[in-house]
Structure 1
Amino acid sequence: MSNFTPWSALYGGILIGLASLWLMATLGRIAGISGITYSLLPPKAGDALWRVAFVIGLPLGACLWSFWHGHAHATSHAPAWQLALAGLLVGMGTRLGGGCTSGHGICGVARLSPRSLVAVPVFMATAMLTVALIRHVFGSTP
């Protein structure tokens, strides 16, 4: 069963695009989560404040949305070790791929970065293949 809500997706996409544009226009930085987080350790003088604000703002924004609208629920049936392993693999993949989906998909494609123009279709194809395998080969649905 799909729970697609086109208006909230549109508004969210507009906000992400505006935030990315603002970060690029004001600081000359790309709004890629993995790059922002990775560069926090070790922090560089004069560069850490905006990065910390960005990283704190991500979960804070989700909490505020949930508080105001009361229907955002994040649940997982996976054990904590699987979530930790998944996070580790995602982190390794972002380093291997030279960035995350947000950096490549939102900012890289907008800048016509050749690396991003290759990475995004690979991300999408991998996601589609994974869903097809899980649903149709292994017979599982989320």
Structure 2
Amino acid sequence: MLAETLLPNGWLHYLLGGLLIGAGTVVVYATTGITAGASTFLESTLSYVSDRSRFQQFRFTSTRDWRVVFTLGIVLGGTIYGLAFGEFGWTTEVQWWRLLFGGVLVGVGTRLGKGCTSGHGVCGVGSLSETSLLNVATFVGIAIGTAQVVQALGVTP
């Protein structure tokens, strides 16, 4: 009963998605020796066009090519899925300004947390990193708390 409530469309596509994400992170790590994560994409991409020393650090210039491929793979994967299964387009009723504001907060959080849910949540937890375990617990705890506060305030999309 609980599974049907939480997963009304079944569980198989979640399993497949998890396996693909896991396989992708293994490929990135095996071929580059770097943990797959999306939060440093912007900084590493800016190293192409900015001559500021902040963006010309070796950690950005040495990883920028695969980070572009990694991010394009995320976008193209979602696009291919949407086209293949007819689930393509805008799927939320949340106003654009709330999405923008939330995106900015997520960006600030990834810098403060020194990583994002893809780096900490998938790769860090998988390697039993104490820092990543703490960060993921913080992400989840704050997300649950925020959702409860927003719901209590009666805010709707």
- Tell me if both proteins adopt one fold, taking TM over 0.5 as the criterion: yes
Alignment-mate amino acid for residue 138 of structure 1: L
Instruction: Find the aligned partners of 2:10 and 2:89 in 1 and give their Cα distance.
Output: 15
> Contact conserved, 1:37 with 1:51, CA < 8 A, in 2?
no
1:13-92 matches, within 5 Å, as: 13-43=18-48, 47-92=63-108
- Residues 34/97 of structure 1: CA separation in 2 closer, same or farther (3 Å cut): same
TM-score by length of 1: 0.85
Match in the other structure for 2:109: 93
1:113 to 129, 133, 153: 129
**Stretches of structure 1 lacking an aligned partner (at least 5 in a row):** none
> Contact conserved, 1:37 with 1:55, CA < 8 A, in 2?
no
- Whichever of the two has the greater Rg, that structure is 2
**Stretches of structure 2 lacking an aligned partner (at least 5 in a row):** 49-59
Instruction: Find the aligned partners of 2:63 and 2:39 in 1 and give their Cα distance.
Output: 15
Paired residues in the alignment total 141
TM-score by length of 2: 0.78
- Residues 34/5 of structure 1: CA separation in 2 closer, same or farther (3 Å cut): farther
Deviating above 3 A after TM superposition, structure 1's stretches of 4 or more consecutive aligned residues are 1-5, 43-47, 139-142
Instruction: Find the aligned partners of 1:133 and 1:50 in 2 and give their Cα distance.
Output: 39
CA displacement at 1:121 relative to structure 2: 0.9
- Residues 130/45 of structure 1: CA separation in 2 closer, same or farther (3 Å cut): closer
Instruction: Considering Cα pairs closer than 8 Å and 6+ residues apart, tell me whether 1 or 2 has the greater RCO.
Output: 1
CA displacement at 1:90 relative to structure 2: 0.9
Q: Sequence identity of aligned pairs in percent?
A: 39
Matched, 1:139 2:157: no
| Secondary structure of residue in 2 paired with 1:81 | helix
